[in-house]
Amino acid sequence: MSISAPLAGLTVVAARRALATRFKASGIETPELDARLLIGAALGLDHTGLAVHATRLITDNEASTIASFAERRLSHEPVARILGHKEFWGLDLRLSEATLVPRPDTETIVAAALEIIRNDPIMAAKALRIADIGTGSGAVLLALLSELPAAKGIGTDLSEDALETARLNATQLDLTERVSFVRCDYASALSGPFDLIVSNPPYIRSADIAALDRDVRDYDPRLALDGGADGLDAYRTITPQAAALLAPGGLLVFEVGHDQSADVSTLMRLAGLTLSHPPKADFGGIHRAVMGRKAAI
């Protein structure tokens, strides 16, 4: 029997409970949340709307749409990919097959960069020029631009499909006048100087990809995950590029994996950058953001 048949004719709240039960039985980690988001999307209702319309009945067509979403989620396709968008730093961002799903951990590098900028009188007073290396959906760059109204930025990616997604997000957020995107390998097509360079590069060890959660392994682009044998290949390339592109006093902020902050810090030192701030931890206590600065003149 299809999922849609049992849902048709149920109330909204009963359908949510039934779907959450099915998800929980299949090992989905956040069954109640996922059921709420998918049913809300199928019915065109936000959280408040679901509560207001809790007792109305699910139609056959709505049940069919919910069932389609549910089957995809039961195959471990992330909810954000099913819906085609994801919130990051309070911004609603479109996704595509060529982009990572932005994760809360990545907000750590946005927070780290903003904290340093706002506590530095020179940087805080400048119209900053920002580069985002491996921009994907544009999440990090667009979040920074949303907080720094005088700043301008450029994002790079090897995937033209990812760049098209980033451009759509910039348009949706009315940031096109302050941002541009270019296809290249990391920072190879850029010319400085930049006041801030940020990057969330691929950092998963090649041998570890097979053991990742199915939500990530089967749906995130491998190009954005695979960091080589030790997970550090991208950092070895980007760090010296960034050091050359930074203006005096400029800042480089990397997202790193759970055990990589020391190695990436060493790469920054070897490139002539100063580690003037300790790594910033994410909400799980993992050192997620590593910062290095170029010497001021």
Residue 5 reports pLDDT greater than 60 = no
User: Does pLDDT of 62 surpass 50?
Assistant: yes
Q: How far apart are CA 294 and CA 252, in angstroms?
A: 8
Condensed to tens digits (0 to 9), the pLDDT of residues 204-241 reads: 999 999 999 999 999 999 999 999 999 999 999 999 99
Q: Mean pLDDT throughout 53-79?
A: 95
Checking if the pLDDT of 1 tops 50, the result is: no
Return phi, psi of residue 226, to 5°.
-80, 110
In the predicted model, what is the mean pLDDT of the chain?
Answer: 95
Q: Is 292 helix (H, G, I), strand (E, B) or coil?
A: strand
Say whether 271 sits in a helix, a strand or coil.
coil
In terms of phi and psi (left: phi > 0; alpha: psi -120 to 50; beta: otherwise), the region of 288 is alpha
Query: Helices (DSSP H) in 94-220: which residue ranges?
Result: 107-118, 121-125, 139-147, 160-172, 214-217
pTM of the model: 0.93
Residues 6+ apart with CB under 8 A from 264: 232, 235, 239, 254, 256, 290
What is the predicted pLDDT for the residue at 192? 83
- Interval 69-89 mean pLDDT: 96
Question: Which class for 261: exposed (0-12), middle (13-18), buried (19 or more C-beta within 10 A)?
Answer: buried
Percent of the chain with pLDDT over 90: 96
By three-state DSSP, how is residue 135 classified?
Answer: coil
pLDDT for the residue numbered 276: 82
The band of 297, judged by pLDDT with boundaries at 50, 70 and 90, is confident
pLDDT digits (tens, 9 = 90+) for 92-146: 999 999 999 999 999 999 999 999 999 999 999 999 999 999 999 999 999 999 9
Residue 181 to residue 169: CA distance in whole angstroms: 12
For residue 63, pLDDT over 90 is answered with yes
DSSP letter assigned to residue 275: -
For 10-24, the pLDDT digits (tens) are 999 999 999 999 999
Query: ω before 221 within 30° of 0 (cis)?
Result: no
pLDDT at 2: 52
Q: What pLDDT does 6 receive?
A: 81
